[in-house]
Amino acid sequence: MLFKFYLVVLVVLAVSVKISSQVFESIENASAQYFIHLSNKSSDAENDLINLKNLLFQSYNKAELENKYQTSIIQFDSLKNHFNEYESKTKNISKDSALVLFNQWYLHFSNLFYNYADEKFFSSNNTKILFFSTSMSCHCTLEMCKKQTVEILDLAKEMNLDYWIVDSYEHNELQIKFETLFASAAVVFDKSGNVLLKIEYDENLLPRLSEFFKTKLKGE
């Protein structure tokens, strides 16, 4: 009986260590899963939100946040406060309204880990999609960015692609570099980091990306 107790403790500790060493990845994956299910009005969204909250409110190492993830406890606490506000508001609003608010939270998260995600994304040897959203624009653009963010997340997970969602209102350096000066926009890179495709402010973003990848896969 005592052996089983110690075994459980060791498993919990091992999981905690793994999570703490993958702060960005764990929270990002949970956020994307919730975002997709919330958009689809899936019953799984409620459990996804609980999972996201549990990850977000883990006890993370201050030095690791600062050195590895290039952020701070104060900034991370701000993200958690934003999440609490979101969770509180969802109790009295529709799923569509919740989606709008969560999109803002997701971009807050993206901004917080921007420098770390930048290094991680461009050091990847996989095919990848860079998507420029925005947290500030006209209503039509915000709606299209929100909708296409979910589409990118869904497509990337379906096709096992790396992805990065960037708030171009806060960070426009890469937009300028890749000459995609309007949000929304998507840039597809091959495994070596070469630009394969750029799509800018197009309501048919998902069909174009899907067709591109179907053609690409046939040629490989």
Out of 82, 113, 144, pick the residue that ends a domain.
Answer: 113
Q: Answer yes or no: is 39 within a domain.
A: yes
The C-alpha atoms of residue 94 and residue 97 are separated, in whole angstroms, by 5
pLDDT per residue as tens digits for the range 56-95: 999 999 999 999 999 999 999 999 999 999 999 999 999 9
Domain count, the chain: 2
Q: Is the pLDDT of residue 15 over 70?
A: no
Backbone φ and ψ of 180, nearest 5°: -125, 85
pLDDT higher for 19 or 43? Answer: 43
Give the distance between the most distant pair of CA atoms in the chain.
63
- CA atoms within a 13 Å half-sphere pointing along the CA-CB vector of 123: 6
Out of 66, 90, 113, pick the residue that ends a domain.
Answer: 113
Can you give the three-state secondary structure of 27-46, one letter per residue? Answer: HHHHHHHHHHHHHCCCCCHH
In terms of Cα–Cα distance, which of 95, 13, 4 is closest to 49?
95
Q: Answer yes or no: is 165 within a domain.
A: yes
Residues 67, 136 within the same domain: no
Q: Answer yes or no: is 198 within a domain.
A: yes
CATH number at residue 135: 3.40.30.10
Who's near 64: CB < 8 A, 6+ residues apart? 20, 21, 23
Q: Answer yes or no: is 135 within a domain.
A: yes
Residues 89, 28 within the same domain: yes
In terms of Cα–Cα distance, which of 44, 30, 25 is closest to 95?
44
Q: Give residue 90's identity as a one-letter amino acid code.
A: T
Out of 113, 135, 167, pick the residue that ends a domain.
Answer: 113
Q: State the DSSP H helix or E strand holding residue 216, giving kind and residue range, or none if neither.
A: helix 205-219
The C-alpha atoms of residue 209 and residue 195 are separated, in whole angstroms, by 14
**Against a cut of 0.85, is the pTM above it?**
yes
Residues 4, 88 within the same domain: yes
pLDDT per residue as tens digits for the range 158-173: 999 999 999 999 999 9
Who's near 30: CB < 8 A, 6+ residues apart? 48, 51, 52, 55
Q: Answer yes or no: is 118 within a domain.
A: no
Q: Is the pLDDT of residue 41 over 60?
A: yes
pLDDT on residue 215: 85
Residues 12, 32 within the same domain: yes
Q: Contact, 16 vs 77, CB < 8 A?
A: no
Q: Answer yes or no: is 119 within a domain.
A: no
Render the burial of 58-71: b for 16+ CB within 10 Å, e for the rest.
eebeeeebeeebbb
Residue 81 belongs to what domain range? Answer: 1-113
Residues 109, 1 within the same domain: yes
Residues 131, 79 within the same domain: no
Percent of the chain with pLDDT over 70: 89
